[in-house]
C-alpha cells in the first residue's frame, strides 16, 4: 500500500496551498463579513485550472485526477470555506454531469466556459418539498415543438445568484416517479422566463451565494436535454456521489484550519504560569481533532481514488462526507473551547470556522441520509 502522492498531485497541492495562503486567507474574514462574491479569487483559480480540475484540457479543464481535486480543495477551503464550496459546486455538481453526460457540442458550449473559470455553473435539484426525497420534485419540463418549457422553483442553490449556467432536474413524465426525471443544461443569461429568486441570509459560508431559481414558462432548446430523457435520476445519484467528495474535502479543510489555529493559540496562551498546551485537557482535545481529521482525509482520498479508477464509490463518498463533516463540526466546537472567550469573538477566525462547518453536515445529502446510503450498501 503506497500513500505517496504522484509528482503532479504534490505539485497541485503545493500550488493550491501557496495561493490560498497568499491570496485567499488574508481576505476571508472580510468576505465573510461583507458577503461579497470572491470574483477576483475565482478568476485566478480559473487561470490555475482549479475550476475544472478533472475536466479534459480540450474542454477548458486541467485534465487532472480527482485526488488532485481533493488535495486542492482542502487547501482552498482551509483558507476560506465559502470559496471552497463555490469551487466544489462548479467542479463536482456542474462540470461533472455536463462532461459525463453531455454531447461534444454541449461540452464546447456549456462546459468549456465553466471549466476554464470564465463562468460559473450550479446544480438545481432541491425544492421546498423535495430535498432528501427527489421524487417529490414539482419542477416540470414539457416538450413544445423544438423547445422544452420549464416551470417550477429550485431552493438553496449554491452559486444560483451568480451562475451563468445550471444543470436543472425536472419531471418530464408525471406518474413515473424517479424514472420520469430528466436533466437539462440551462443558459441562465439567455433563457426568457428564468429569474433568480430569494438570496438566502445564512449562518455560515456567507461569501457563497445561495438562492432560489425560478422558472416561469422558461423556454430552452430541445438540445438542452442532458443525456437521455428519463435518465436524470441516475445522473443525479452519480453526480451527488462526486459532490460528496467535494464537501468532504471542504470539511477537512475547515477542520485543518481549526486544528492549526487551536494548536498555535494553545502554545502561546498562558494560564497558571504555563502555556495551556501543557495541560492534558487541552492536549486531548487537540489529539482527538488531529486523529479524526486524518481519518476523514484518508476516507476522502480513498473515495477520490476509487472514482479515478472507475470503481464503485457511492459508499466511500458517503462515508467520507459524513466522517469529514462530523469531524469538522466537532473540531470547531472544541476549537472555540480552546480559545475560550476569544473563540466566541470575531477578532479570531475560530467562530467563522464553526459557522462554516455546520452546513457540511447538511448539504449534498444530510448525514442522516449518508448513514442510510452506507447501510444500504452493507446489507443489499
Q: Does domain 233-379 have CATH number 3.40.50.720?
A: no
Distance from C-alpha of 283 to C-alpha of 274, rounded to nearest angstrom: 14
Distance from C-alpha of 38 to C-alpha of 40, rounded to nearest angstrom: 6
Show the 3-state SS of 90-125.
HHHHHHHHHHHHCCHHHHHHHHHHHHCCCCCEEEEC
Question: What pLDDT is stored for residue 226 in this prediction?
Answer: 98
Beta carbons of 55 and 65 less than 8 angstroms apart: no
Question: What pLDDT is stored for residue 116 in this prediction?
Answer: 97
Same fold, 122-231 and 233-379: no
> Which residue in this structure is represented by grid cell 463555490?
86
Show the 3-state SS of 312-355.
CCHHHHHHHHHHHHHHHHHHHHHHHHHHHHHHHCCCCCHHHHHH
Distance from C-alpha of 180 to C-alpha of 152, rounded to nearest angstrom: 16
Superfamily name with CATH number, domain 122-231:
Butyryl-CoA Dehydrogenase, subunit A, domain 2 (2.40.110.10)
> What is the number of other CB atoms lying within 10 angstroms of the CB of residue 366?
16
DSSP letter for 22, please.
I
**Residue ranges of domains in the chain:** 7-120, 122-231, 233-379
Question: What pLDDT is stored for residue 10 in this prediction?
Answer: 98
CA dist 1 to 13, 100, 182, Å?
21, 30, 41
Beta carbons of 372 and 322 less than 8 angstroms apart: no
Distance from C-alpha of 218 to C-alpha of 227, rounded to nearest angstrom: 20
| CATH number assigned to the domain with residue range 7-120, chosen from the 4 options 1.10.540.10, 3.50.50.60, 3.40.50.150, 3.40.1160.10 | 1.10.540.10
Cα–chain center distance at 196: 20
Q: Is 79 helix (H, G, I), strand (E, B) or coil?
A: helix
Of 154, 77, 74, 81, give the one whose Cα is nearest residue 122.
154
State the catalytic residues: 364
Distance from C-alpha of 167 to C-alpha of 236, rounded to nearest angstrom: 10
Beta carbons of 21 and 79 less than 8 angstroms apart: yes
CA dist 359 to 15, 71, 83, 92, 304, Å?
27, 20, 14, 17, 21
Question: What pLDDT is stored for residue 131 in this prediction?
Answer: 78
Q: Is 146 helix (H, G, I), strand (E, B) or coil?
A: coil
Q: Which helix or strand (DSSP H or E) is residue 170 part of? A: strand 165-171
Distance from C-alpha of 28 to C-alpha of 80, rounded to nearest angstrom: 5
Distance from C-alpha of 170 to C-alpha of 172, rounded to nearest angstrom: 6
Q: Spell out the per-residue pLDDT of the chain, length 380, in tens.
A: 789 999 999 999 999 999 999 999 999 999 999 999 999 999 999 999 999 999 999 999 999 999 999 999 999 999 999 999 999 999 999 999 999 999 999 999 999 999 999 999 999 999 998 877 887 899 999 999 999 999 999 999 999 999 999 999 999 999 888 899 999 999 999 999 999 999 999 999 999 999 999 999 999 999 999 999 999 999 999 999 999 999 999 999 999 999 999 999 999 999 999 999 999 999 999 999 999 999 999 999 999 999 999 999 999 999 999 999 999 999 999 999 999 999 999 999 999 999 999 999 999 999 999 999 999 999 98
Q: Which residues pair with 153 in a beta bridge?
A: 214
DSSP letter for 216, please.
E
Amino acid at each position: 500500500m503506497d500513500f505517496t502522492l504522484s509528482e503532479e498531485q504534490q505539485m497541485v497541492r503545493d500550488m493550491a496551498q501557496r495561493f490560498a495562503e497568499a491570496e485567499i486567507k488574508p481576505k476571508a474574514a472580510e468576505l465573510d463579513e461583507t458577503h461579497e462574491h470572491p470574483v477576483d479569487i475565482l478568476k485566478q483559480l480559473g487561470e490555475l485550472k482549479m475550476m475544472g480540475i478533472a475536466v479534459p484540457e480540450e474542454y477548458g479543464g486541467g485534465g487532472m485526477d480527482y485526488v488532485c481535486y481533493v488535495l486542492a480543495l482542502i487547501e482552498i477551503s482551509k483558507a476560506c470555506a465559502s470559496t471552497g464550496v463555490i469551487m466544489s459546486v462548479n467542479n463536482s455538481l456542474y462540470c461533472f454531469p455536463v462532461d459525463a453526460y453531455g454531447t461534444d457540442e454541449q461540452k464546447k458550449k456549456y462546459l468549456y466556459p465553466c471549466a476554464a473559470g470564465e463562468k460559473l455553473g450550479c446544480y438545481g435539484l432541491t425544492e421546498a418539498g423535495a430535498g432528501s426525497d427527489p421524487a417529490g420534485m414539482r419542477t416540470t419540463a414539457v416538450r413544445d415543438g423544438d423547445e422544452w418549457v420549464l416551470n417550477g422553483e429550485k431552493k438553496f442553490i449554491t452559486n444560483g445568484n451568480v451562475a451563468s449556467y445550471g444543470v436543472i432536474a425536472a419531471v418530464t413524465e408525471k406518474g413515473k416517479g424517479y424514472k420520469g426525471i430528466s436533466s437539462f443544461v440551462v443558459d441562465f443569461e439567455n433563457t426568457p422566463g428564468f429569474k433568480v429568486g430569494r438570496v438566502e441570509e445564512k449562518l455560515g459560508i456567507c461569501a457563497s451565494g445561495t438562492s432560489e431559481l425560478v422558472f416561469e414558462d422558461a423556454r430552452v432548446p430541445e438540445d438542452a436535454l442532458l443525456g437521455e430523457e428519463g435518465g436524470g435520476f441516475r445522473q443525479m445519484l452519480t453526480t451527488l456521489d462526486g459532490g460528496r467528495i467535494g464537501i468532504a474535502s471542504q470539511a477537512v479543510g475547515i477542520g485543518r484550519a481549526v486544528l492549526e489555529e487551536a494548536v498555535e493559540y494553545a502554545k502561546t496562551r498562558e494560564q497558571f504560569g504555563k502555556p495551556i498546551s501543557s495541560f492534558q485537557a487541552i492536549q486531548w482535545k487537540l489529539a482527538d481533532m488531529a486523529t479524526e481529521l486524518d481519518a476523514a482525509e484518508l476516507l476522502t482520498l480513498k473515495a477520490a481514488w476509487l472514482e479515478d479508477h472507475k470503481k464503485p464509490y457511492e459508499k466511500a463518498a458517503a462515508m467520507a462526507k459524513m466522517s469529514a463533516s462530523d469531524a469538522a463540526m466537532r473540531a470547531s466546537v472544541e476549537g472555540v473551547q480552546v480559545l475560550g472567550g476569544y473563540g466566541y469573538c470575531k477578532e479570531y477566525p475560530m467562530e467563522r470556522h464553526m459557522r462554516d462547518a455546520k452546513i457540511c453536515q447538511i448539504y449534498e445529502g444530510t448525514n442522516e441520509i449518508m448513514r442510510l446510503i452506507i447501510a444500504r450498501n452493507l446489507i443489499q
